[in-house]
Amino acid sequence: MSCFDAAFRIGLIGHGASLTTRRGPLLVYRTHVRLKGPAMAKNTGKGYREGEVRDRSQVYNPVAKRWTKRDAETGEFMDVKEDREPFKGVRKEH
């Protein structure tokens, strides 16, 4: 158990707290502490992105005919693309 997890469990920090470390911001959740790194891919200015957006995936919904972005860790649906094109830099589920 990390010191942040222990601090959360004894009530020194609350749910949804954000702490900063040398490696980046930490987000504190109800049951665990997770290091939140940059999730974004880098824009190139040429109509595509370098790299992949981490911890995200997208799936095509044939009923709505739209792409839906999903959090890979929790499975929660996050966003629906309105222009019917896939999200840039987000991996596709098959």
Task: Give the model's confidence band at 63: pLDDT under 50 very low, under 70 low, under 90 confident, else very high.
Answer: very high
Confidence class for position 33, pLDDT limits 50, 70, 90? very low
What percent of the chain stands above pLDDT 90? 30
Q: How far, in Å, are 2, 38, 64, 73 from residue 90 at the CA level?
A: 31, 14, 19, 14
pTM: 0.52
Q: Any idea which residue has 């629906």 for tokens?
A: 80
Identify the bridge partners of residue 58 per DSSP, sorted by sequence position.
69, 92
Q: In the predicted model, is pLDDT for residue 66 greater than 60?
A: yes
Residue 78 neighbours by CB under 8 Å, 6+ apart:
56, 69, 70, 71
